[in-house]
Structure 1
Amino acid sequence: MNQNTNKTVLILGANSDVAKQCIKQYVEKGFTVIAASRNTTSLDDFIHSNHLDSSKVSVLFFDAADFDSHQEFYSDLPTKPHIVVYAAGFLVDNQKALADFKGARQMMEVNYMGGVSILSIIAMDESNKNLERIIGLSSLSGVRGRKSNFVYGSTKAAFTQFLAGLRQELTSRKVTVNALVIGYIRTKINEGLELNESLIMEPDYVAKYIVNAGSSFTIVPNFKWKIIYYILKLLPEGLVAKLP
């Protein structure tokens, strides 16, 4: 019997391209998956078109920005999860976010505040003896503030710091917290952007790093992005200012 047969994964923001690949890969490994998103129809279509075992995947409605609904959502889960993946994300152009706070606020609510809200509820439920791992999807954009995307980047930087503290908070309960610090992915959120093709990762490639996450806090898929990550961390401020 697969050792993961009785384990449940909760994927929040499960309609993203990466999250959908995670659903497939977790099911292939024997997990039961609860896929939660605002767009349940798209998830149902994905499960059907990929011939996934409906007994291993259930779909629930979840709105990352509807904070008041989060406690009820968690309390009503059919099974408390062993693994939680927060994959909800939202992006608007930096200049639009600066000119209109509505877009900036929506990024804050989905990328950061929603994660803090629901993950805090999950993490503080000490009655859930199943919980063994929480994985949050962050971004290279949150490593250093750059002219082209610092509003979006600030939400990811804040989320990474929250995950870092949550990791410390949960150490005594032997719950692992990981932050996936991700570069460019060929997903709908990046459609229309002019990106370096040699740096673009496929959703299923990134999903493998999530599904096979180890003990390290920061996980950066792809050796090219690992190099970029460390360069960004170490680059003097004067040189960061010259970046786009």
Structure 2
Amino acid sequence: MMKPNSKSVLILGANSDVAKQAMKLYLQKGFEVMAASRDLTSIEKFIGENNLDSSKIRLLYFDAANFSSHQDFYNQLPTKPNIVVYSAGFLVQNEKAFHDFDATFQMMKVNYAGAVSILNIIAFDSSNNNLERIIGLSSLSGVRGRKSNFVYGSTKSAFTQYLAGLRQELAHRNIKVNALVIGYINTKINEGLELNKNLIMEPEYVAKHIVEAGNTFTIVPNWKWKLIYQILKWSPEFLVAKLP
């Protein structure tokens, strides 16, 4: 049972490794957590393995790609959230994306269209006076189009631009919107990929940046990734074209 006077966080895509760590940190800060995902069994296992207080957690089924279910999902929340974290994600490598549009479309739906669908419902519920902040997990892949990952990157770029506009739209209500622009993380979505080990971040590290989000719109964890972000953002096209 959610306590009526406690603050709550709604984590959409709560089965991601980063989201699970964020859940732990929010609980430590005294939040009630609504953990929403298609895979609730995995979250239940995580709760048990980490001895988390299940009385402060509500597990909710949420399918980012099932747009028609989003309004009912929101209407049935046990409480209207103070903070919303969108961490749902789906990755298809370019080689597959070029030839398997069903998989590519799923990536588009989870990473962008589903986010817009549910966050519009949440953000424009004028009856929710609790809402303080919306945080979206985006990616360095969305900063510039690069031939190695531009299909996935395009979904993250679109999501970042949506969050930027949403931030402006909600400013008069004093609702903060943040985009966490993330590089390589040691998570299951990156299993099997050849990544630079010196650049890989742990989920716990990234989760701290979610929970400690301030007023800055773009949050890039880790100074190495901040430097890469700036290089990608400001490099001329002919240099970006030489990148893998």
Match of 2:165 in 1: 165
Structure 1, unaligned stretches of length 5 or more? none
CA RMSD of aligned residues (A): 0.7
1:88 equivalenced with 2:88 (yes/no): yes
Equivalent pairs, count: 240
Match of 1:215 in 2: 215
Alignment partners' CA distance in 1, 2:92 and 2:100: 10
Match of 1:184 in 2: 184
Match of 1:119 in 2: 119
Deviates more, 1:42-51 or 1:185-194: 42-51
**1:16-44 deviations in whole A, cap 9, x for unaligned?**
00000000000011110000000011111
Match of 2:34 in 1: 34
Alignment partners' CA distance in 2, 1:153 and 1:103: 15
**1:105-150 deviations in whole A, cap 9, x for unaligned?**
0110000001000000000101000000000000000000001000
Alignment partners' CA distance in 2, 1:24 and 1:33: 9
Alignment partners' CA distance in 1, 2:239 and 2:99: 26
Match of 2:64 in 1: 64
Match of 2:51 in 1: 51
Match of 1:196 in 2: 196
Match of 1:14 in 2: 14
Alignment partners' CA distance in 2, 1:121 and 1:185: 30
**1:82-126 deviations in whole A, cap 9, x for unaligned?**
000000000011111011111210110000001000000000101
The amino acid across from 1:90 in the alignment is: F
CA-CA distance at 1:65 after TM superposition: 0.2
Structure 2, unaligned stretches of length 5 or more? none
CA-CA distance at 1:49 after TM superposition: 1.2
TM-score (norm 2): 0.98
Q: What SS does the aligned partner of 1:146 have?
A: coil
Stretches of 4+ aligned residues off by more than 6 angstroms:
none
The amino acid across from 1:88 in the alignment is: A
Q: What SS does the aligned partner of 1:206 have?
A: helix
Match of 1:79 in 2: 79
Match of 2:100 in 1: 100
Deviates more, 1:147-156 or 1:49-58: 49-58
CA-CA distance at 1:48 after TM superposition: 1.2
Alignment partners' CA distance in 2, 1:140 and 1:116: 19
Alignment partners' CA distance in 1, 2:100 and 2:47: 37
